[in-house]
């Protein structure tokens, strides 16, 4: 997905430079692309937080039943 955005951004930059009359429209399109990318980044950041939280939660649970828990089970 990152590559698609990079290509879109490069295209928009080139279009703005080559067609100054159309620059306002290209800038609007560029802003839409950037907003969409920001949404994706935010979504990925939230997924990472959830995964980290899940891992931490699992680690805490396994510590409770770690070696001491295993030995006490006998």
Tokens 């620059």 found at? 23
Low-confidence ranges of the chain (pLDDT < 70): 1-5, 61-74
**pLDDT tens for residues 60-74?**
766 555 555 555 554
Contact 22, 15 (CB under 8 A): yes
For residue 34 the two structure tokens come to 């950037």
What local confidence, expressed as pLDDT, does residue 61 receive? 66
Diameter over CA atoms, the chain: 80
Residue 27 is predicted with a pLDDT of 82
Residue of 42, 38, 41, 32 lying closest to 12 (CA atoms): 32
**Domain range summary for the chain, segments of one domain joined by +:** 2-73
* Contact status, residue 29 vs residue 12, Cβ threshold 8 Å: yes
């Amino acid at each position: 997905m990152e590559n698609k955005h990079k290509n879109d951004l490069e295209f928009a930059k080139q279009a703005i430079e080559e067609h100054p009359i159309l620059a306002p429209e290209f800038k609007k399109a560029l802003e839409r692309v950037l907003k969409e990318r920001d949404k994706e980044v935010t979504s990925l950041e939230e997924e990472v937080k959830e995964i980290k939280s899940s891992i931490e939660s699992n680690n805490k649970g396994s510590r409770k039943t770690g070696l001491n828990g295993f030995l006490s089970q006998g």
